[in-house]
Amino acid sequence: MRCHQHNQARLEWSAGFLAILFMLAGCEKPPASFPATVDPGDTIYFVPVREKVVALTFDDGPNEPFTCAILDSLRKHGVHATFFMIGANVEYFPETARRIVAEGHAIGCHTYSHSRFDLSSSNDIMKDITSGSRTIASTTGITPSWFRPPYGINGPGMEESCRTNRMAIVGWSLDANDWNPHSPEDIAEHIVANVMPGDIILLHDGWETRHGGDRQRTANAVPLILERLLKQGYTFVTLPELLRRAGPPLAEFANGVRLLGLQTTGKPIRAGDEFQARYCWDVPTGWNEHSPRAFVHLQLEDRPCLFQDDHSIPSRGDVRDRVVKRTIAGPLSVSPGRYRFNIGLFDPRNPDIRNRIPVRSIYPHSSGKVQLPVAVTIAADTGAVGAAAISPGGTDSLTWTSIDVNSPLSQGDAHLIQVGNRAVMLIDTGDPSAMGMLLRWLNDHQVGNIESVVISHGHRDHYGNLINLIVRGISISNVFFNPPSPKHIDAESYGVSKDDLHSISVLCRQHNIPVRDITSGMEWSWGSNITMKVLYAFDGDHTPVGETDINDMSAVMMLTCGKTKVLFAGDLNAPIGRHIVENRDTIPIQADILKAPHHGTEGTVDNDFFKAVNPAVIVVPTQAALWQSDRSKRIRELTHDKRCLVNGIDGDITVRFNASVTGNPSYAIFVSGYQ
């Protein structure tokens, strides 16, 4: 590697984000520059650069008519990208593959058949990679030098297969999430609001090996992305060109760990608000012995640290898991100003302030800590959360609100149960990305005390905001949660984090909040006519149907108010759903209202489950786009003769109950709707 010397460091700002860009100062021992080439079998997912350059990459093509529509947009704007093609799709659309090369785009291999490497043998992986590369080469005349594993999942022998085929492995640092049914505007806004120089951006022009798979939303989003980022002064380049423009990392530690990039919000926030930070770390090959832990202090000029974002740095695993995405909770009582990120590493074998790992950086650094120019600005308006709990009605009234915590790019559950003036239970807390939606609702309704928080199951879109609620000063008396086992966490790392669960445990202990198991038969009672009972709760390992996934660890609960029943089904999948239906004599699930699983219909409970519950009203806490997609078609058809309410369409959904034990079920439903 060559070491590039420059005279100054430069921070460039752009609306919607803060990103660090720098030139090497004439220091004695500057950090080594990022290599301009990548060896076969090695992985890149982000490139530190000195200019406003990014790389657009497209997976799963060629796929008509959508690939050509994207190519037309790229040609119109004079932009080159990198296409990771599937061999089977190249055979089906050979002319499109040749057009990609003819128009100057870089190409990579995405296997021949888009197989799941975590379910494949090393021999099968070698065959799929080799076949894909050969098909692409024979069709286009170009042997690919880049490889991206399907789903971003590594597999046995993948690196060796790539070395044999002379291909480097490519991940991504910014995912457009266009594999979910988001609108073109949502896809574009997500990229524009979160981009930083050096990003490798992931989009899809195809859908695995489905010829003609619908990617119209992506095709329509591409010109929006190009126009907005070009206007901001960005240049789009291919992967090889992005590497040629590489500069040094932000920080290089003595143990070989490097901080390549850091991005956070460029918009001022209020005290007490949450904000996102995205860290691009790189650890040495073979780093598995210890998990290095970063300390991140946010400081106002030279004052003492007021809040922090300490976190573990992942070892080299699946390429999809390289970026560390964090939701940081700002304290409620904090002075307005510009809070800079100060970052360092503890020795993992001896995490003590006296054992910080030495660091090199062009930015001010001492005692193993680097003061970076990236910062978050806290505005003067505090927007503190109120301390009183207020709900309409007398002491025997019951109100359930399905709080809308579904943003365009995330879905989740958050259900508040209020009895009189008491917030007695919050079932789930939504995804961290929707913290602002939950906090605003609690603030607007002056809810500052919650007696019990129940996490139905261990996915981030259900437990994700528990930490933030505690940090923001919401008083919680009890937490009920059955965390998934390490085996389940490893199998579903896309939806749950060991760090998250550890932080929940530590924070609850620090705030003297007991964390209790959820067990079948557990019951809460609020007065003589209002109860919540757990009908089913298993750990995922010892169930009546054998081992299950985390969704089937959902606690199934029945809320009863007088004659009215509401079934909270978590995110049940088919195996446990069938068991409950078959045993409905002992697990009674008939209810007037059903809180349905929100994750679509690919694995969710069978039709017989909905028929057994037989509700008059169904509440679905999901996004409008997901509800209107093919993925939810089965549930939509099942509910055509019922009243069906969807958070992403109807907003907050509030049900007020009559607790009388006489007469028919009695309740009134109110929705906030969308403007």
Is the model's pLDDT at 279 over the cut of 80? yes
**pLDDT, tens digit, for every residue of 174-184?**
999 888 767 89
**Higher-confidence position of 129 and 299:** 129
CA-CA distance, 451 to 418, in Å (whole number)?
10
**Would the pTM count as exceeding 0.75?**
no
The percent of residues in the chain predicted with pLDDT above 90, rounded, is: 49
Type and span of the H or E element at 243: helix 239-244
Instruction: Report pLDDT for 215.
Output: 94
What is the residue-averaged pLDDT of the chain?
85
Q: Which domains does the chain have, with CATH numbers?
A: 35-244 (3.20.20.370), 251-378 (2.60.40.1930), 398-671 (3.60.15.10)
- Closest of 392, 322, 342, 64 to residue 215, by C-alpha: 64
Q: What is the mean pLDDT of residues 256-281?
A: 87
Please provide the DSSP assignment of 403-471 as one string. Answer: ----BTTB----EEEEETTEEEEEE----GGGHHHHHHHHHHTT--EEEEEEE-SS-HHHHTTHHHHHH
Q: Worst-scoring range by mean pLDDT, 351-355, 388-392, 585-589, 658-662?
A: 388-392
Q: Which residues are catalytic?
A: 59, 204
CA dihedral (658, 660, 665, 668) in degrees, to 10, reads: -10
Q: What is the mean pLDDT of residues 449-455?
A: 95
Q: Give the model's confidence band at 384: pLDDT under 50 very low, under 70 low, under 90 confident, else very high.
A: very low
Tell me the two tokens of residue 326.
């964090």
**pLDDT, tens digit, for every residue of 518-577?**
988 899 998 778 999 999 887 767 778 888 888 888 899 999 998 899 999 988 888 888
At 159 the three-state DSSP class reads helix
